[in-house]
Amino acid sequence: MALFLQTTFLTSSSSLRQKPCLSSWASHISTSRTCTRTRVHAKIREIFMPALSSTMTEGKIVSWVKSEGDKLSKGESVVVVESDKADMDVETFYDGYLAAIMVEEGGVAAVGSAIALLAESPEEIEEAKSKAASSSPATSPAPAAAAAPVSESTTGSGAVEKAVVVTPPSPSVVASAVHPASEGGKRVVASPYAKKLAKDLKVDLGRVIGSGPNGRIVAKDVEAAAAVAAELGSPAAKVSAAPAVQAPPGIELGSVVPFTTMQGAVCRNMVESLSVPTFRVGYTITTDALDALYKKVKSKGVTMTALLAKATALALVKHPVINSSCRDGNSFTYNSSINIAVAVAIDGGLITPVLQDADKVDIYSLSRKWKELVDKARAKQLQPQEYNTGTFTLSNLGMFGVDRFDAILPPGTGAIMAVGASQPTVVGTKDGRIGMKNQMQVNVTADHRVIYGADLAAFLQTLAKIIEDPKDLTF
């Protein structure tokens, strides 16, 4: 579901000739889904950066769906904005013309700041452009754009076609320009790893043009220079033996990378969580029966994530305090719904899609919903209510073979459960013999202002009974 753009009027020359009725506008605005601020004095409106989530403080313009001069109709998508968790289409609430774009694609703007101007008629487009030119919105370029070297040509996928220009060693060639990463030609600016690599490969950094920020030389520049020099028969071709350590593709060792919008949101949430007094309780659960059930229903589209979420939700029904939350430090809330958030790693960050009312939804519908949420998460198309309404969180690293770990409590929730891998374990049976069972370790991190050790212990006992006898999961 797309969101509506917030707008407000700006004063124009036409405002003196015609003033719409304030009361009628106020009545119209009160029925809209998005609260707007209006000063009814003009026909040029500012389009604001909307708040797409409760934690969003700034947004990045992913793309403008419309161009300057395009006619807009109410409800049309105008711009795609990257919030701290997802990319969302944003619609206009008014008819008009997109007169001036104030924040270009890739730019970042604070919530509530102007990103474009909307004119009511074509005659006011030029006036709107003049206003846009005279204003200076609080925006900043996207980190990737800032880091991209101006002189390089790139392919459609962003890969650098030619990252280095090397002057071949020849007594008849004289450098005619100061190196861009040097100060007056005296000091070459390069990453520590690039300097070490240049020394190993016998590459003259003074002849290498850097592709890093402000012309800084990075490792790939040195490697490319060595390759070009080898082709030209320079001394760099006589480099000895030991191969240099290579970073994974797309990673520049020694480089400083600014946070993405999502990484910034994760950072703020993790820092905020430090203010909550937490404690941890672990529990070992036998999973033989759950594994057998999963094999039976897997062909019907049921996922292990859905089974774990369902089991957790049924346990929370019997222990509502574990599903509670404390937000102000003075009281806590018994949440009326059991919404299981599940951590999902996506490109450039982490997000927690929410299985709402997991205790009430059957396992087959829950599995279908989970697949839908994961697809939307990876496409960055989740709506706010699909990732910020969780009351209890699951973090599962068992599929990576991790046997146990602790998770950090998300702000605004009472508990998070870290789920490890189910592994064959030698155990003592009730009759005194030695047997083999599949067991997994779960560790719960909880808010100690609301939840106590005995509460968690009772919850984990209930959860273990449900998982070890999972007949209720398929009803």
Q: Map residue 221 onto helix, strand or coil.
A: helix
Amino acid at 444: V
| Strands 107-110, 58-64: pairing kind | antiparallel
Q: What secondary structure does DSSP assign to 318-382, as a single string? A: H-GGGG-B-SSSS--B--SS--EEE-EEETTEEE--EETTTTTS-HHHHHHHHHHHHHHHHTT--
41 is a catalytic site residue: no
Q: Which of 282, 386, 378, 401 is nearest to 341 (CA)?
A: 386
Run of H or E including 290: helix 288-297
The tokens describing 460, both together, are 């984990």
- Give the torsion through C-alpha atoms of 172, 177, 178, 184, to 10 deg: 100
User: What residue has token string 């407000």?
Assistant: 8
- Distance, CA of 284 to CA of 18 (rounded, Å): 73
Contact in structure between 47 and 115 (CB atoms under 8 Å): yes
- Distance, CA of 65 to CA of 80 (rounded, Å): 7
How many CB atoms neighbour CB 27 within 10 A? 10
- Distance, CA of 296 to CA of 435 (rounded, Å): 24
- Distance, CA of 223 to CA of 163 (rounded, Å): 10
From 28, 41, 179, 448, active-site residue = 448
The answer to whether the Cα torsion of 10, 11, 13, 17 is positive or negative is positive
Largest Cα–Cα distance of the chain, in whole Å? 95
- Distance, CA of 412 to CA of 19 (rounded, Å): 46
Calculate Rg over the CA atoms of the chain.
29
Contact in structure between 443 and 397 (CB atoms under 8 Å): no
- Report, as residue numbers or ranges, the catalytic residues: 448
